[in-house]
Amino acid sequence: MAVCIAVIAKENYPLYIKSTPTENELKFHYTVHTSLDVVDEKISAMGKALVDQRELYLGLLYPTEDYKVYGYVTNSKVKFVMVVDSSNTALRDNEIRSMFRKLHNSYTDVICNPFYNPGDQIQSRAFDNMVTSMMVQVC
Amino acid sequence: MSVPDYMQCAEDHQTLLVVVQPVGIVPEESFFKIYKRISTVSQINIRDSQRVLYIRYRHHYPPENNEWGDFQTHRKVVGLITITDCSSAKDWPQTFEKFHIQKEIYGSTLYDSRLFVFGLQGDVAEQSRTDVAFYPSYDECESVEKRIEDFIESLFIVLESKRLDRATDKSGDKIPLLCVPFEKKDFVGLDTDSRHYKKRCQGRMRKHVGDLCLQAGMLQDSLVHYHMAVELLRSVNDFLWLGAALEGLCSASVIYHYPGGTGGKIGPRRAHGSSLPAEAGNRHRPGAQEVLIDPGALTSNGINADTSTEIGRAKNCLSPEDIIDKYKEAISYYSKYKNAGVIELEACVKAVRVLAIQKRSMEASEFLQNAVYINLRQLSEEEKIQRYSILSELYERIGFHRKSAFFKRVAAMQCVAPSITEPGWRACYKLLLETLPGYSLSLDPKDFSKGTHRGWAAVQMRLLHELVYASRRMGNPALSVRHLSFLLQTMLDFLSDQEKKDVTQSLENYTSKCPGTMEFITLPDGLKLPPVPFTKLPIVRSVKLLNLPVSLRPQKMKSLLGQNMSTKSPFIYSPIIAHNRGEERSKKIDFQWVQGDVCEVQLMVYNPMPFELRVENMGLLTTGVEFESLPAALSLPAESGLYPVTLVGVPQSAGQITINGYHTSVFGVFSDCLLDKLPGIKTNGCTVEVIPALPRLQISTSLPRSAHTLQPSSGDEITTNVSVQLYNGETQQLIIKLENIGTEPLEKLEVTSKMVNTKGKLFGDFLSWNLEDTLSQFPLKPGKIATFTVNIKVKLDFSCQENLLQDLNDDTPTRVLDAKSRFSHGLRSPGETINIDGSGFEALVRYRLVDIEVFGTDGAIFSVDAREEETEDGIGI
């Protein structure tokens, strides 16, 4: 399943980033950070399309030797980035999509919390649990 | 072919490669001076036609790359220019011999060569040879450019003849098979008569002719040849050459579509163009325009019939989209051959440059991604650095700044890889600095002062650590201190407790050798590193200027002229002025400080570190009047709560003083923290008026202090109680010693007395004094003592009041002696001190000497409490 999940603010700084504890955390920071170039590029290309027709799912951002990086951007330009082990071939586009949708819903719940200031680090336990479940769950 | 040229771009396919090399001992500086002059001749207009030749100069070219010259003719060294230094005629034969040896290296492919001899004069230099030019010195060689132009033209003649030769002999019986070095052994024993083989030969030759046409400035022709080559080679599945033909097609189309070039080195090319005759204007569209303007020129140049039918139409040219598709196809063919890795890599780089111009970043990144995985043979460390740097540059070009920064950082790390014997810490540091924008990190702490830090802390911290380490290894401790301070200051919230300890530990180690300063550090390349004040070590929450202690506060004397003087305006009421005053008051503090007195500012600080924080040399930064700051050292316990710290100083002159901030020295780093840069700080205003120095008066009496106070003293007066016990009718002298302990002379003294409790029946003057004696000693110079004598005389009348004694026991008849000192300028009083102000103020002080108690009947005992009291009589300014 996912090895790293990140939520990135509109201004491109991380709101939340979690990776599997066994791996080198910094490596994923780099991976997600560089993937933002592609996200930016894709968003600016989409900018021309009508807003309501826009697809939130950005698809595969780029493949690396060991991982695949997928992206998703909300209408408020909050980005979700998911790094998936590329050996996991069982994972189809549809599954990735549904995972992103789940992530988006959970993020919406975080935002609904009146004590959360948009732009702050996400510290919600519910969100954390959801992400953890997405990282271990095998499908 | 093993050395990739990462700088290559599509339009290099139309250039002729000329190698310029020194022979013998030529000073490097002189060589590059000449090389530079030669390089300016990068394009030549061919006489009698509008074709343009482009020249690519190299001062170093590996001969094994030259062997791929048949595959892509721009890889072939066609010209050699040798520069040599020869001072005497007897060295000449030897020099000439060297020139020939040099020629041998590229001999198989050279069209022509030149030898430039510098320093030789005399008979030998007189001989006129086409291939040798003599110049007396490196400075006197005006004709170099002209020589080069002639040389290029001679190259062109050879090129043109080769092109015509190859283009026309297609009907010939046997076309030689062109091949790349690694193919040679594959064709041993192959049937040379088969159709397949012939087609292969034809296809390759066609491609070769296309290359030559492109170099000779005939773009349309080359397109036609490439198209035919593609068809031929596709039919025989000759993938490597098919790839080359496709790439040729792409290059020609790129040259057609993007006359400005894709390599970003348009500058010198254009600059030179302007120095040529004016007809150079249409030079950037070689071929295409030539065809439109002068179709006759081409037919006369003898291209075979089937290509001439295509001439004049741009349909052979690929559209911008097709260029990329064809590049993709070509690269996929190249990738089938392990030995063509360099060709594949270069093709990727060229395609990326084209895509960058087309602003198609996504596709460009795919090409780059592919290029990353192309495995060349074992690269040397230097080549790795070069490779990562170029990847970084290309990513930058397509706007992928983060990716670019990533690769630049990798390149930087490569500079200091453990396998390198002499790590290039300087280069590493320089490259690391260049990655900063990609990680949206600036080295100016001001950018971080606004609110919470938002960024990729983990990544940025890593980079800062690397900067620290690199600068340390560079042997620049000042730089490492600066970077480490920056790390500590800006990333404090993200550091774990252990990291905080480690960072401060190493910071202390560095500062022991080189303390951190508040100066800008200028790097050799002009970058300035601003100072990093530790505003978070400790964190200051509030700054409050404190009033002087009550006894030292200045009091305003009642002016004789009264209120009129205090209002500056002649009008009784003006709303505007009133409003302005309100504004001013909000910024200014409503008390004054006095020159020469110790003034205090209270800071509420706390220590965010998990260990005890030692702050040394903490003092105030001020502007306005001269201020002698008395620094303090403090030690804050780990993770302390708010902790009050009082900073003191002495104003040395009168006027306005503004507290701008404070300076500290923490872990050996000096910082100046300005208050207006600190977020979330509370102050009660920072500007206060300092009034001129006032005298101080110390008062002491001869009587013992009283055990109890008679009247509770209110906050704004200072009293001293002394007591004396007297029998009725007894008299006693009370000596009051007045000492001027300040620096200004005392001028006035007034004394009054008051009975606080008047229940006692006293007759006559209970207290009497003669002020004149004392006043004669005035003005009292600093350090001088005056005495003032008060006579206490107790006269009680017991006659009419029977219960008097009872009363006396219950109550205390009290009398107050008010010693009122009045000075011409004014004064203020501490408990036992009086100050004089020199600015037309007046202050008023009363000394209350007290109070008599009567006890018992036979021989009543009086108790006199001398009390000094100061009343605030000050009048608002």
**ipTM, 2 decimals?**
0.89
**pLDDT on residue B270:** 35
The answer to whether B669 and B537 are in contact (CB under 8 A) is no
- Chain A residues touching residue B462 (CB < 8 angstroms): 26
**What does the alpha-carbon distance between residue B680 and residue B427 come to, in Å, rounded to a whole number?**
41
Query: In chain A, where are the structural domains located?
Result: 2-134
**pLDDT on residue B686:** 78
Tens digits of per-residue pLDDT, B328-387?
Answer: 999 999 988 888 888 888 899 899 999 888 888 888 888 888 888 887 777 788 888 888
What's the burial of B173, exposed, middle or buried (CB within 10 Å: 0-12/13-18/19+)? exposed
At residue A80 the predicted structure's pLDDT band, cuts being 50, 70 and 90, is very high
At residue B289 the predicted structure's pLDDT band, cuts being 50, 70 and 90, is very low
Tens digits of per-residue pLDDT, A111-120?
Answer: 999 999 888 8
At residue A126 the predicted structure's pLDDT band, cuts being 50, 70 and 90, is very high
**What does the alpha-carbon distance between residue B17 and residue B118 come to, in Å, rounded to a whole number?**
24
CA A132 to chain centre: 13
Measured in degrees and rounded to the nearest 5, phi and psi for residue B258 equal: -120, 75
**pLDDT on residue B333:** 92
**What does the alpha-carbon distance between residue B39 and residue B55 come to, in Å, rounded to a whole number?**
8
Q: Where is average pLDDT lowest: B318-332, B445-459, B851-865? A: B851-865
**pLDDT on residue B775:** 76
User: pLDDT over 70 for what percent of chain B?
Assistant: 73
Can you tell me whether residue B223 is helix, strand or coil? helix
At residue B171 the predicted structure's pLDDT band, cuts being 50, 70 and 90, is low
**pLDDT on residue B869:** 37
The answer to whether B141 and B134 are in contact (CB under 8 A) is no
CA B849 to chain centre: 67
Task: Check residues B866 and B660 and name the one with the higher pLDDT.
Answer: B660
- Chain A residues touching residue B400 (CB < 8 angstroms): 34, 37-38, 41
Task: Check residues B854 and B605 and name the one with the higher pLDDT.
Answer: B605
**pLDDT on residue B712:** 52
Q: Residues for chain B: how many in total?
A: 877
CA B509 to chain centre: 24
The answer to whether B134 and B117 are in contact (CB under 8 A) is yes
**What does the alpha-carbon distance between residue B25 and residue B46 come to, in Å, rounded to a whole number?**
35
Is the pLDDT at A105 greater than 90? The verdict is yes
Q: Where is average pLDDT lowest: A9-18, B332-341, B452-461, B702-711? A: B702-711
The answer to whether B321 and B351 are in contact (CB under 8 A) is no
The answer to whether B248 and B210 are in contact (CB under 8 A) is yes
The answer to whether B74 and B17 are in contact (CB under 8 A) is yes
The answer to whether B794 and B726 are in contact (CB under 8 A) is yes
DSSP assignment of B377-430: SPPPHHHHHHHHHHHHHHHHHTT-HHHHHHHHHHHHHHHT-TT-SS--HHHHHH
What's the burial of A87, exposed, middle or buried (CB within 10 Å: 0-12/13-18/19+)? exposed
DSSP assignment of B763-796: -S-SEEE-HHHHHTTPSBPTT-EEEEEEEEE--B
Question: Averaged over A70-95, what is the pLDDT?
Answer: 85
Can you tell me whether residue B264 is helix, strand or coil? coil
**pLDDT on residue B588:** 62
DSSP at A78? -
**pLDDT on residue B755:** 59
| Angle value at C-alpha B151, between B145 and B153, nearest 5 degrees | 110
Structure tokens, B563: 């209120």
Tens digits of per-residue pLDDT, B717-763?
Answer: 566 666 666 677 777 777 777 777 777 777 777 676 665 554 445 55
The answer to whether A58 and A71 are in contact (CB under 8 A) is yes
Tens digits of per-residue pLDDT, B610-655?
Answer: 888 888 888 888 888 888 888 888 888 887 788 888 888 888 888 8
**What does the alpha-carbon distance between residue B317 and residue B312 come to, in Å, rounded to a whole number?**
11
Does the bond joining B779 to the residue before it have cis omega, within 30 degrees of 0? yes
Is the pLDDT at B602 greater than 70? The verdict is yes
At residue B707 the predicted structure's pLDDT band, cuts being 50, 70 and 90, is low
| Long-range contacts, B584-589 (Cβ 8 Å, 24+) | B586/B685, B587/B685, B587/B687, B588/B685, B588/B687, B588/B688, B588/B689, B589/B545, B589/B684, B589/B685, B589/B687, B589/B688
Beta strands in B76-153 (DSSP E): 77-85, 112-118, 132-135
Among residues 200-229 of chain B, which lie with CB inside 8 Å of chain A? none
Q: Which of B14, B50, B8, B42 is nearest to B226 (CA)?
A: B14
Mutate to test the interface with A, among B459, B463, B490, B496 (most CBs of A within 10 A): B459
The answer to whether B847 and B868 are in contact (CB under 8 A) is yes
Task: Check residues B161 and B834 and name the one with the higher pLDDT.
Answer: B161
- Chain B residues touching residue A9 (CB < 8 angstroms): 454
Tens digits of per-residue pLDDT, B512-533?
Answer: 888 888 888 888 888 888 888 8
Provide the β-strand partners of residue B76. Answer: none
Question: Averaged over B23-28, what is the pLDDT?
Answer: 83
**pLDDT on residue B38:** 87
C-beta neighbour count of B200 within 10 angstroms = 24
Q: Where is average pLDDT lowest: B195-209, B303-317, B739-753? A: B303-317
Strands B697-701 and B643-651: unpaired
**What does the alpha-carbon distance between residue B562 and residue B542 come to, in Å, rounded to a whole number?**
40
Strands B725-726 and B861-864: antiparallel
The answer to whether A103 and A134 are in contact (CB under 8 A) is yes
Does the bond joining B277 to the residue before it have cis omega, within 30 degrees of 0? no
Residue A35's contacts (CB-CB under 8 Å, 6 or more residues apart) are: A61, A62, A69, A71, A81
CA B536 to chain centre: 20
Q: Can you give the pTM of this predicted structure?
A: 0.74
Taking an 8 Å cut-off on Cβ atoms, the answer to whether A26 and B399 are in contact is no
Task: Check residues B240 and B756 and name the one with the higher pLDDT.
Answer: B240
Can you tell me whether residue B40 is helix, strand or coil? coil
Is the pLDDT at B53 greater than 70? The verdict is yes
**What does the alpha-carbon distance between residue B98 and residue B412 come to, in Å, rounded to a whole number?**
40
Residue B240's contacts (CB-CB under 8 Å, 6 or more residues apart) are: B71, B180, B183, B333, B334, B336, B337, B340
Q: What single letter denotes the amino acid at residue B492? A: L
Structure tokens, A121: 């680090």
Q: What number of C-beta contacts closer than 8 Å exist between A and B? A: 48
The answer to whether B298 and B218 are in contact (CB under 8 A) is yes
- Chain A residues touching residue B458 (CB < 8 angstroms): 25-26, 29
Question: Averaged over B598-612, what is the pLDDT?
Answer: 87
Question: Averaged over A42-59, what is the pLDDT?
Answer: 72
**What does the alpha-carbon distance between residue B270 and residue B260 come to, in Å, rounded to a whole number?**
9
At residue B841 the predicted structure's pLDDT band, cuts being 50, 70 and 90, is very low
Say which of B402, B455, B456 has its CB closest to residue A37: B402
Strands B43-45 and B15-23: unpaired
Task: Check residues B225 and B294 and name the one with the higher pLDDT.
Answer: B225
Is the pLDDT at A7 greater than 90? The verdict is yes
Tens digits of per-residue pLDDT, B113-165?
Answer: 888 888 877 776 677 777 788 888 888 777 888 888 888 888 888 888 888 88
Q: What single letter denotes the amino acid at residue B709? A: T
**pLDDT on residue A47:** 67
Is the pLDDT at A106 greater than 90? The verdict is yes
Is the pLDDT at B856 greater than 50? The verdict is no
Taking an 8 Å cut-off on Cβ atoms, the answer to whether B365 and A30 are in contact is no
| Tokens 């790795």 sit on residue | B384
CB neighbour burial string for B340-357, b if at least 16 within 10 angstroms, e if fewer: bbbbbbbbbbbbbbbbbb
Taking an 8 Å cut-off on Cβ atoms, the answer to whether A33 and B456 are in contact is yes
Tens digits of per-residue pLDDT, B435-471?
Answer: 888 888 888 877 776 656 677 888 888 899 999 999 8
Q: How far is CA B386 from CA B252, B380, B389, B391, B461, in A?
A: 28, 10, 5, 9, 26
**What does the alpha-carbon distance between residue B596 and residue B652 come to, in Å, rounded to a whole number?**
6
**What does the alpha-carbon distance between residue B647 and residue B673 come to, in Å, rounded to a whole number?**
14
**pLDDT on residue B359:** 85
**pLDDT on residue B329:** 92
Mutate to test the interface with B, among A32, A34, A61 (most CBs of B within 10 A): A34
Taking an 8 Å cut-off on Cβ atoms, the answer to whether A41 and B362 are in contact is yes
Is the pLDDT at B838 greater than 50? The verdict is no
- The residue in chain B having the minimum alpha-carbon distance to the alpha carbon of residue A40 is B400
Is the pLDDT at B800 greater than 70? The verdict is no
The answer to whether B20 and B92 are in contact (CB under 8 A) is no
**What does the alpha-carbon distance between residue A9 and residue B452 come to, in Å, rounded to a whole number?**
14
DSSP at A50? -
**What does the alpha-carbon distance between residue B817 and residue B753 come to, in Å, rounded to a whole number?**
3
Structure tokens, B590: 């409503």
Taking an 8 Å cut-off on Cβ atoms, the answer to whether A42 and B362 are in contact is yes
Mutate to test the interface with A, among B362, B374, B409, B436 (most CBs of A within 10 A): B362
Which CATH number describes the domain made up of A2-134? 3.30.450.70
- Chain B residues touching residue A33 (CB < 8 angstroms): 402, 406, 439, 456, 459
**pLDDT on residue B719:** 64
Is the pLDDT at A4 greater than 60? The verdict is yes
Measured in degrees and rounded to the nearest 5, phi and psi for residue A92 equal: -95, 170
The answer to whether B76 and B69 are in contact (CB under 8 A) is yes
**pLDDT on residue B821:** 37
Among residues 384-413 of chain B, which lie with CB inside 8 Å of chain A? 395, 399-403, 406
| Tokens 């051959």 sit on residue | B337
User: pLDDT over 90 for what percent of chain B?
Assistant: 3
* Chain A residues with CB within 8 Å of chain B CB: 9, 11-14, 25-26, 29-30, 33-34, 36-38, 41-42, 45, 62-63, 65, 119
